[in-house]
């Protein structure tokens, strides 16, 4: 069975030898390894894909690595290919990213289990029915925002969701919700951040006469559109493009960038750093 080990720690000699030696002693074969030493922070990051063989003692392997991590002062995460993460998709009226993620999941491009779709509008119901995914309509207003966010949080807990994807969910989540969210949240912003954060980025881009419009997938934090960036891309434009043209072009980039970020998270290719993330593509 294939597993993936992520770890990060202060950089020093002997770390790679200790970790690879532990895997070898437990009958594991390393299939692929990526590593990065950050000269600014002095942190070392590594991702190891390995084969544990049939009948491997997963609990024993994890317990042994936990002991090793304590000795070596490592932060770590271990996952297995046959235990796909459970995902919730959050969407508002614009559903192009929602359809794209559902199609990619059907085509086995995203290794996960989609537990539910949550929306504050009815538009996402058609996609949910087409792909046989439970749909939860939770309208929101200034008056019921706390109650609605509590309902979302309860759903994430009840469905054992391990990743929430804001697939053009056009509501600003409160800091309280983000602080107590039971799983990481990935958002797609229709701009090449940090340019044109907040609302109506294509209108801002048109006004500035930019030659590229882009999209940014990032983890959600309490600071609006300022979480660690996972993936970005751009598409060219010109003075001839209207806001509608930019929006149409932007949708293509949004779909690609969000799918890329979600796939990297599901494949455990992202490691946390101070204010940013390390991505092993």
Residue of 117, 147, 120 lying closest to 130 (CA atoms) = 117
Catalytic residue among 100, 225, 241, 268: 225
| pLDDT tens for each residue of 6-59 | 999 999 999 999 999 999 998 999 999 999 999 999 999 999 999 998 777 888
User: What's the confidence (pLDDT) of residue 193?
Assistant: 64
Of the listed ranges 39-48, 202-211, 240-249, 262-271, the one predicted with least confidence: 202-211
pLDDT classification of 190: cutoffs 50, 70, 90: confident
- Residue 114 pLDDT > 80: yes
CATH superfamily of 85-279: Formyl transferase, N-terminal domain (3.40.50.170)
Are 281 and 269 a contacting pair, CB within 8 Å? yes
Q: How far, in Å, CA of 261 to CA of 161, rounded?
A: 17
Q: How far is 28 from 20, CA to CA, in rounded Å?
A: 9
pLDDT mean across residues, the chain = 92
- Measure the CA angle with vertex 89, ends 152 and 97; round to 5°: 140
Amino acid 194: pLDDT: 63
60-84: b (≥16 Cβ within 10 Å) or e = ebeeebeebbeebebebebbeeeee
CB 264 within 8 A of CB 231: yes
245 catalytically annotated: no
pTM value is: 0.92
Per-residue pLDDT at 218 exceeds 80: yes
Mean pLDDT in residue range 148-157: 98
What gap in Å lies between CA 171 and CA 60, rounded to an integer?
Answer: 43
Q: What are the boundaries of each domain within the chain?
A: 2-80, 85-279
pLDDT of residue 260: 98
Architecture of domain 2-80: 2-Layer Sandwich (3.30)
Of 180, 154, 156, nearest to 166 by C-alpha is: 156
Q: Which token pair is 118? A: 């949550």
Q: What is the mean pLDDT of residues 134-161?
A: 97
pLDDT at 273 over 90: no
How much is the pLDDT for 206? 75
Burial grade of 270 (CB within 10 A; 0-12, 13-18, 19 or more):
buried
Predicted local confidence at residue 275, as pLDDT: 86
pLDDT digits (tens, 9 = 90+) for 56-111: 788 888 998 999 999 989 999 999 999 999 999 999 999 999 999 999 999 999 99
pLDDT of 242 over the 70 cut: yes
Report the percentage of the chain scoring pLDDT > 70.
97
Model confidence at 196: pLDDT above 80: no
Q: What secondary structure does DSSP assign to the chain, as a single string?
A: -EEEEEEEEE--TTHHHHHHHHHHHTT-EEEEEEEEE-TTT-EEEEEEEEE--TT--HHHHHHHHHHHHHHHT-EEEEEETTSPEEEEEEE-S--HHHHHHHHHHHTTSS-EEEEEEEESSGGGHHHHHHTT--EEE----TTTHHHHHHHHHHHHHHTT-SEEEESS--S---HHHHHH-SS-EEEEESS-TTTT-SS-HHHHHHHHT-SEEEEEEEE--SSTT-SPEEEEEEEE--TT--HHHHHHHHHHHHHHHHHHHHHHHHTT-EEE-SSSEEE--
Given this model, what pLDDT does residue 44 score? 97
CA contacts within 13 A on the Cβ side of 124: 32
What is the percentage of the chain residues whose pLDDT exceeds 90?
75
pLDDT of residue 195: 67
């Amino acid at each position: 069975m294939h597993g993936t080990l992520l770890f990060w720690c202060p950089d020093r000699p002997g770390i790679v030898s200790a970790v690879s030696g532990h895997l070898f002693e437990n009958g594991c074969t390393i299939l692929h390894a990526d590593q990065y030493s950050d000269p600014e922070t002095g942190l070392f990051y590594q991702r190891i894909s390995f084969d544990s063989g049939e009948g491997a003692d997963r609990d024993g392997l994890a317990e042994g690595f936990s002991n090793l991590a304590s000795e070596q002062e490592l932060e770590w995460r271990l996952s297995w290919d046959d235990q796909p993460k459970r995902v919730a998709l959050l969407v508002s009226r614009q559903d192009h990213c929602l359809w794209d993620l559902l199609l990619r999941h059907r085509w086995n491009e995203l290794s996960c289990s989609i537990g539910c779709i949550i929306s504050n509008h009815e538009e996402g119901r058609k996609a949910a029915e087409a792909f046989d995914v439970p749909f939860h309509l939770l309208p929101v207003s200034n008056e019921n925002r706390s109650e609605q966010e509590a309902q979302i949080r309860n759903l994430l807990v009840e469905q054992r969701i391990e990743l929430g994807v804001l697939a053009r969910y056009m509501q600003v989540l409160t800091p309280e919700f983000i602080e107590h969210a039971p799983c990481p949240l990935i958002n797609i912003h229709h701009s090449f951040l940090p340019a044109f954060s907040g609302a109506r980025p294509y209108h801002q881009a048109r006004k500035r006469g930019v030659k590229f419009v882009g999209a940014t997938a990032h983890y959600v934090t309490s600071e609006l559109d300022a979480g660690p960036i996972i993936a970005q891309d751009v598409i060219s434009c010109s003075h001839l493009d209207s806001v509608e043209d930019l929006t149409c072009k932007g949708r293509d980039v949004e779909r690609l960038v969000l799918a890329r970020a979600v796939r990297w998270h599901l494949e455990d290719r992202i490691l946390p750093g101070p204010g940013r993330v390390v991505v092993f593509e």
